[in-house]
Structure 1
Amino acid sequence: MQTDDPSCAGGKVIVVTGSILRRADTETPSPVTVLSSESLDKRGLFTVQDGLQSLAANNGPALTNSFSANGAFAAGASAISLRGLSTNSTLVLFDGQRAAYYPLADDGTRNFVDLNTIPDDIVERVEILRDGASSAYGADAIAGVVNIITKRQVKGLTASLNAGISERGDASQYRISVTGGVGDIEENGYNAYLSGFYYKSNKLMNKDRGYPFNSDDERGVCSPDGQTCGPDLRVNAPDGVFPGTAANLIVRPYDATNTTAQGRFQDLGTNGCALGTPYTLTDDQFAANPASPRTVCTLDYTNLYGTISPEIERWGVSGKFTAAVTDSIEGYAEFNFLQSTVNYTSLPATIRGNAPTGILFPQFSTSGTGGALAPGSFALSLPIYVCANGLPDPRGVATGCNATNGTLNPNNPFAANGQTARIAGRILDRVTYNETRSRAYRGAVGFSGDITDNIGFNLSATAMHIDLRRLQRGYVQINNLLTAIARGSYNFVNPSLNTQAQQDFISPDLVNNASSDQVAFDGNLQSSVFDLPGGPLTVAIGGSIRYEAVDAPSGNPDYNGPTQRYFTLNAFGTKGSRWVYSAYGEVEAPIIEQVTVNASGRYDSYSSGQSNFSPKIGVKFQPVRSLLIRGTYSKGFRIPSFGEANALPTTGYVTASPVPFTNFFLNQYGCTTATFTSCPAYVRNFSYGQTTLASPNLQPEKSRSFTGGVFFEPIRGLSLSVDYYNIKKTGVITQPSNTPALLAYYAGQPIPTGYTVVPDAPDLANPNALPRIAFVQSQLVNANTQRVSGLDFGIDSDVGITDSIRWSSHLEASYIIKLETEFPDGTVERYDGTAGNYNLTAGSGTSKWKGYWLNSLTFGDKVELSLTTNYFGGYDYSAQDQGTGYKDCSLITGVAGDPGYSPSGCSVDEYWTFDLQGKVRVNDRFTLTATVMNMFDNLPPVEVTTYGAHLYNPVQGGNGIYGRYFRMGAKVNF
């Protein structure tokens, strides 16, 4: 909630996150972590977002800025996931008030608040409530609450400049800010301040980091015994996939009806391996790949195009005016504007690829395509004849052109033989580009104070609007491509000869605009009712009205037909709005001096038809001054997000585990998990699309949580805390586990009710074998029960070593005891300490341990040295939601305890980094800082399964992938 004063000095009261009561005691029954602007400075962090991502309690499916460059649905945004319960179970507040959702949903379904909208320079502190708080704030506060509290007043002028660059001379960043304020609320009756900043972070490419992060050739990534090494996944490499995504444009002759192959693929044009390396297949490889040409092109996409972190540019302006209306009433008005632009380049444009599941045409196939095809997929072919008025047709056999009205197709080398040419590959000189530009506007006003000596009040109103512009350039529009094919108006033999107009025709810019809104009015009254032995019994009551909306239309719809869209771009999108009416109350009863009981409750009613009552009770027992025992019990809820209730079909791709396919391998290809590395590439290197269908009939998720902890201060300046948490969510909104559908398909059994399995195109080398799965579709349901429990540890000290030297220390660590999901059939999947929940974490896993330790030495008031030790625990490669046993890697491949070629066997190593900062106060006005981040240049451990980044975990690795990094800063006060 909004602070009345940044400290309790002078007997003034504050409002603590999770309570609507103003108090002088910051210790509540609920555990609270405070992230101050001073601690961020000591750690050399530029932004509050960086500090929140490093929280010990942030784990599992967090969303980092770097994930934007690796296909994130919510590109351009950052979000945390307290307790590993996903981004939509953590509530983010600004001065105790809700903020607008980021218009794009995480994985197309989970709404969240973008941490990049935080106005860093006016943040006084961030309070992280590590407990459920639906009784105070309503929906989404299941795992905890992050409350960003802005400064009450600023006096004078402060300017700062910070810059950083890696030891390798890349990934540079800089930040400039100016903040100025006039007036003193106590002395002058008012304060007004204005703040502005500019921040730029340059992109980092995979090629700028060493092996293996810079290559698709994983043969140097080996198991501990050195006997099993990774595959060569460069496109068209001998161990790679052929010809799924050819490195260059290739064609294969088919008969005039485009149904029967007449030969092998061959290069189209004379460029050959313009960016790659030719490789001649051995006789065995040539025989095993009946569609392949004798010489293929190896192209390392990661090395050429891979992006580790995108380019980020942000700037913003904030202002606040606070005035003493009377001796006992204070009012404020605040505004914030922040623009964030994130962009990155990706792979070259594909001209044959699966366009993810559509909206009105989920399964698009045509006759004459030579077998079952994935949704939105077809056999793209160059026809025999082209003409000026040719009509687009994906079959390549009926374009409206013939020998009478057309000419032989100059792009089809088989046209003179009366054959069509199936075409595959990428246009290497047409690199795709993605950019998001978000603009956040926020305004807030409020009044608080005392009506009488015994009655206080708080009134506030806030409005926030975010508009998001997403630009995607270089992606091929299917219908325009088919038109160009039919008319012969695009040069496929040598794409570099096409004019800009020809390029723009087949891949016009896709600009999609989305927005979100939040408007809220809140008011409450507090009063001391009567005295108890321990002090006054205090009561607060209040109510609020809130409007929230998201309008994020699909960027790739097929409303006008299955070809009226782009290759490879997802079709997700959502739109919705609702009003929320709430009433809440809180009672604090100091039963005796040593025992205080706090009880609160809130009723929320949604215009969409849902309602919920959330109670909470907390007790703190302080038998002696140095010992505090605390505990809470609460119930909460999470309302179905707009993405879950109203979204268009969303397809996310997950790596296919070999486990469900054992019988498939044995029966169809003569190989098993024990001989997995000898299986054909068709089944060895692929992922399948997980298509989520929204449901308007979803009910809120319900939660039950309790905490219990001890806060111990044996001596002044030293405190220790341990807190246990236990959260249970029921009616969890989820897509059913894909495992039953996978097992049934590969066992040749009927697909279970509620699933649709879409087969992929057949294997070219084994056309009569059972095709692998392309898509699994299912609708969201309230079905599961999710449980998480763990321990939080904290140590703080502030000790004078000599008269002029002080040592301060802050340690926080979190340990997940168990994180699991129970399904309606009673089966349980456990994820803590593993790569699961794979479908939520993008394979980034859920480590059991995470924490950091900050130590600082101050020498007088001039010099300060700080060392931060960062720790992220390792985890097991198994993932039960991908069909493996809990921590049982023997089910991943036949190599027991080894997922194939991991350098750490069955596990991802733990990760340590150390940051060192020095600060010198030259005088009262001027301060210099120098920081070495990751001082031992320890790059993240290799992670061979995640798809959130290339061969490392973006949540675990964080900014560690930059390597040793230097930062300098200067601050001037006037």
Structure 2
Amino acid sequence: MRASNGSTSGTGAWQLLNPSAGCGQYGSVVTGKVAGAAGTSQACSQDSTKDYAQISPSLRRVSATAHLTVDVTPRSQLTSMFTYSQALSEYTGTPYAARARSQSRNADTYSTAIPVTLPDGSPNPNNILGVPEQVMYSFNDLIPKTQQFSENFRGAVRYNGTAASHWGSDWNYDINFTGMNTMLQQTITGAPTIAGIKNAIINGTYNFVNPSENSQEVLNSIAPKNVMNARSQEYSGDMHVSKGLFKLPGGMANLAIGGNIRYEALNDPSANPYDRNNPDAQYVGYINPFNAQGSRWVEAGYWELALPFHKMVQADISGRYDHYAQGSGFGRYSPKAGLSFTPVRQFTLRGTFSRGFRVPSFAETNGMNVAYTTYNVTNQNFINQHLNANGTPNSYAQAYSLGQNTAGNPNLKPEISTNFTGSAIIRPTEWMNFTFGYYYVKKSNYIAPNPLGATAIANAWLNGGNAALPAGTSVTPDQIDTQNPNGQVRPYMVNLQYLNTRSLVTDGVDMKINANTRLPGIFRDIRLISTGQATYVRSFNLTMPDGRVQHWAGTLAPYNAVSASGTPRWRANWSNTFIWKNLAVTPTVYYTSGYKNVAEDTNGPGTRSCGDSANLLAGSAYAPTNQCHIRNWWDVDLNVTYRINDRWRVYTTVYNLLGFRAPADYGTYGSYLYNSSWAQKGAIMRSFQFGVNVTL
């Protein structure tokens, strides 16, 4: 603490409130010069990432299923099924400081000083200077914890059977109904409200001198329990009939016709709403104010016709019309066609073409989502206004978390997809086959947050203020730099909407190999089952509303939408199972190619050079000033299973058997300096799982 200047800063050097207690578990007191504080300051240091960060949350799953089948007649059957499942996950965050801001930044404690006297006029034991004090403190006895408990109830009833026919084949009919409810309860503790922190400081309810003496009641007053309940529902009825119409050289031509009607609903309220009449009631930014609501009826009709023209030529054509009673209503017909050609048993050519569409989700039309990305300020004019005494950029000009508030847009149009696949299947032997395929997917009117990206919008705002912002966007300013209060304010939150881009197009190649045989010679009692597959992403391009194109393949993009997981061009895996009597041993090799540390969806089209990678770096003093490429990632897992009898099996799995480390990724923000989407096992290192499978 130090003397307050009556505003958001203070005067003089920082000193410990209770020097005799020292830093306790955090080691020795650190002394030295601090920017904006004259004299020699004292402080305690802590590695918050080491002490509080988690690689993955704890997770517990429980499920149970009941199934009943009744033969109503010799040619019909009634089936019912009920499934209950639950999942409980827990994870923690980093404690918040006494100097904090609400999630919306409309309230803060920056100017809240420790008073000399309490409201009743008595001396304040937390004040040792005799003047109002500015406090710098972390509530390490309040560790934010999120618990998410979901329950799913699913019931289904189906009546199906056949009826005799005097032409073609018999009639087949199927009538089914499915209902599903999912309820989520999210409970968050340890996250302060601004009102709670202010009360602790002004009224002296929190003991800053000896924090161990604070009761749970006091801690709860600072960080009240936050409980949010969400629910989703879906009820669906489907009926279809099918029949063989006539014979073709390759077999019976079959026709199926059906219809479906369903109801969908979602109620996912905000866990951290903003009340303009009471801004202090809002929690800090740990609690994301995501929300989405809506309901709709959907009607659909569909058909499918299988045409085996010849044993060598098979065709399948189908169509589906869907109508969504949402807004002004969405309706569209989606065709699909497939053709296969097998001139010889060892070779098959297959191709499919289809059109489809996706209506906007409830979150995209009637919701709000706030996310944060790492933002590195590159505007030199801004940096020059926020320097330390030695001329280096101060903490206000370093990398920080930039907010992106994406609001729903009720005027969105549905996405229209065009899909094509072509593949060749080669069977050189009875026990081995290869598949080589090409895929192409185009989504017109692709729905996305404004693709200009939070970084590009923030850069425009720093360069030219509100006048330089693209249409439909705005920026919420951050707090001022207390060290340089006259300097330009940095952006805190970029506000934008979902919109329809021109298109999202991706294409690439898939390869697969399958083998199932006994080994030769003395190993003939061992069966080998080998499965391998690889995918190469040739392109992954987003065309923006203005016609400019973002190229994502082989980079860290999409950066904003998926926590900077990126799009590696190559992904492959190969597993080989060796079965001897009741023992099965399966080593599996995984490979993910490296990628460039650039992202055009956050820095703008054309920012794919190595020089652009600096815009994504974590900004840590321990990070390099430039990282152009993130190296590839290998992993080897080993599973051993032993079958005791037909009902009991025991198994063990070793993950990351060879102990490969995750490559350093200083651009991603989804995890701490590594990319958890591809290399999480390299952060956990070697791990083991043991289990028993029982079939009743």
Query: 2:165 matched to 1:450?
Result: no
* Deviation for aligned residue 1:924: 5.2
CA 1:917–1:567 in structure 2 vs 1: closer, same or farther (change >3 Å)? closer
Aligned to 1:411: 126
User: Cα–Cα, structure 1 residues 380 and 441, in superposed 2: closer, same or farther, change >3 Å?
Assistant: farther
1:789-938 to 2 correspondences below 5 Å: 789-802=507-520, 803-859=524-580, 861-883=581-603, 885-893=606-614, 901=623, 905-922=627-644, 926-938=648-660
Q: What is aligned with 1:965?
A: 687
- Specify whether residues 481 and 968 from structure 1 end up closer, same or farther in structure 2 by C-alpha distance, changes over 3 A only: closer
Equivalent residue number for residue 183 of structure 2? 467
Partner of 1:382: 113
**8 Å CA contact retained: 1:582, 1:603:** yes
Structure 1: distance between partners of 2:29 and 2:197:
30
Structure 1 residues 849 and 865: alpha-carbon distance in aligned structure 2, compared to 1, 3 A threshold: same
Structure 1 unaligned spans of 5+: 1-249, 358-373, 389-404
Larger relative strand fraction: 2
Q: Is the 8 A contact 1:342 1:435 kept in 2?
A: yes
Q: Hey, what does 1:640 align to over in structure 2?
A: 360
Matched, 1:350 2:72: no
- The answer as to 2:7 corresponding to 1:276 is no
SS at match of 1:882: helix
Structure 2: unaligned runs, 5 residues or longer: none
What is the aligned partner in structure 2 of residue 254 from structure 1? 5
Relative contact order higher in (CA < 8 Å, ≥ 6 apart)? 1
- Show the 5 A alignment for 1:270-669: 270=19, 271-278=21-28, 280=30, 286=34, 288-290=35-37, 294-357=41-104, 374-377=105-108, 379-382=110-113, 384=115, 406-407=121-122, 409-414=124-129, 416-417=130-131, 420-453=132-165, 454-559=170-275, 561-568=278-285, 569-608=287-326, 609-647=329-367, 649-659=368-378, 661-665=379-383, 668=385
Could you tell me whether the CA contact under 8 Å between 1:352 and 1:567 is conserved in 2?
no
SS at match of 1:381: coil
**In structure 2, how many angstroms separate the alpha carbons of the residues matched to 1:744 and 1:895?**
17
Instruction: Name the CA shift for 1:351/1:458 in 2 (closer, same or farther; >3 Å).
Output: farther
Cα distance in structure 2, aligned partners of 1:795 and 1:260? 66
State how far apart, in whole Å, the 2-side matches of 1:847 and 1:754 are. 32
| CA contact 1:831–1:846 (8 Å) conserved in 2 | yes
Task: Quote the residue 2:471 is aligned against.
Answer: 753
How much has 1:806 moved relative to structure 2? 2.1
Against the structure 1 CA distance between its residues 866 and 741, is the aligned structure 2 distance closer, same or farther, given a 3 Å change threshold? closer
Question: Using the alignment, how far apart are the partners of 1:872 and 1:848 within structure 2?
Answer: 8
Give yes or no for contact 1:728–1:786 (8 Å, CA) kept in 2.
yes
Aligned in 2, Cα 1:655/1:784: closer, same or farther, shift over 3 Å?
Answer: farther
Distance 2:180 2:472 in 1: 39
Deviation, structure 1 residue 880? 1.4
Q: 1:742 to 1:962 in 2, by over 3 A?
A: closer
- 1:303-356: CA deviation from partner (whole Å, max 9, x where unpaired): 111111222222121121223333332331111111111112322243333322
Cross-structure match for 2:400: 686
Task: Describe how 1:42-121 pairs up with structure 2 within 5 A.
Answer: none
Are the equivalent residues in 2 in contact too, given 1:587–1:598 (CA < 8 A)? yes
CA pair 894-587 structure 1, distance change in 2 beyond 3 A = closer
Q: TM-score, normalised by structure 2?
A: 0.90
C-alpha distance after superposition, 1:70-89 (max 9, x if no partner)? xxxxxxxxxxxxxxxxxxxx
SS at match of 1:592: coil
Shift of 1:484: 4.2
Deviation at 1:281, TM superposition (A): 5.8
Aligned-CA RMSD value: 2.9
Partner residue in 2 for 1:953: 675
User: 1:685, 1:891 → 2: CA distance?
Assistant: 15
Query: Which amino acid counterpart does residue 4 of structure 2 have in structure 1?
Result: P
Using the TM superposition, give the Cα deviation of residue 616 of structure 1 relative to its aligned residue in structure 2, in angstroms: 1.4
Secondary structure (helix, strand or coil) at the match of 1:436 reads strand
C-alpha displacement at 1:605, in angstroms?
1.3
- Alignment of 1:713 onto 2:463: no
Say if 1:278 and 1:295, in contact at 8 Å, map to a contact too.
Answer: no
- Over the matched positions of the two proteins, sequence identity in percent amounts to 32
Compared CA separation, residues 425 and 619, structure 1 to 2 (3 A): farther
- Matched with 1:743 is 459
The whole-number CA distance in structure 2 between the counterparts of 1:927 and 1:548 is 40
CA distance in 2, matches of 1:953, 1:912: 13
Call closer, same or farther: CA 1:722–1:252 in 2, change over 3 Å: farther
Question: Secondary structure at the residue paired with 2:260?
Answer: strand
Q: Residue 673 of structure 2 aligns to a residue in which SS? A: coil
Q: 1: distance between equivalents of 2:480 and 2:28? A: 27
Give the 3-state SS of the residue equivalent to 1:881 in structure 2.
Answer: helix
Please give the per-residue CA displacement for 1:755-780, whole angstroms capped at 9, x wherever unaligned: 11122222233322222211111122
- Matches of 2:400 and 2:626, distance apart in 1: 23
Query: In 2 relative to 1, CA 267–508 (structure 1 residues): closer, same or farther, beyond 3 Å?
Result: same
Task: Decide whether the 8 Å contact of 2:439 with 2:508 is kept in 1.
Answer: yes
User: Residue 293 of structure 1: CA displacement?
Assistant: 5.9
Q: SS of the residue aligned with 2:554?
A: coil
In structure 2, relative to structure 1, the CA distance for the partners of 1:635 and 1:412 (3 Å cut) is farther
* Structure 1 residue 435, shift from structure 2 partner: 0.5
1:813 is displaced (CA, Å) by: 1.4
Deviation at 1:670, TM superposition (A): 8.2
Alpha-carbon distance in structure 1 between the residues aligned to 2:404 and 2:503: 21
Report the 3-state secondary structure (helix = DSSP H, G, I; strand = E; otherwise coil) of the residue aligned with 2:364: helix
Amino acid corresponding to residue 638 of structure 1 in structure 2: R
* Aligned-pair CA distance for 1:531: 2.9
Q: What SS does the corresponding residue of 1:557 show, helix, strand or coil? A: coil
Distance in 2 between the 1:551 and 1:272 partners?
49
Deviation track 1:2-37 (CA, whole Å, cap 9, x = no partner) reads xxxxxxxxxxxxxxxxxxxxxxxxxxxxxxxxxxxx
Contact 1:903-1:942 at 8 Å conserved across structures: no
Encode CA deviations 1:191-241: one digit per residue, 9 max, x unaligned: xxxxxxxxxxxxxxxxxxxxxxxxxxxxxxxxxxxxxxxxxxxxxxxxxxx
Distance (whole Å) between structure 1 residues aligned to residue 643 and residue 189 of structure 2: 48
Distance 2:407 2:3 in 1: 37
| Structure 1 letter corresponding to 2:355 | K
d(CA) in 2 for partners of 1:618, 1:581: 25
Shift of 1:564: 1.8
Distance 1:971 1:617, change over 3 A: closer
One-letter amino acid of the structure 2 residue matched with residue 567 of structure 1? V
Distance 1:723 1:425, change over 3 A: farther
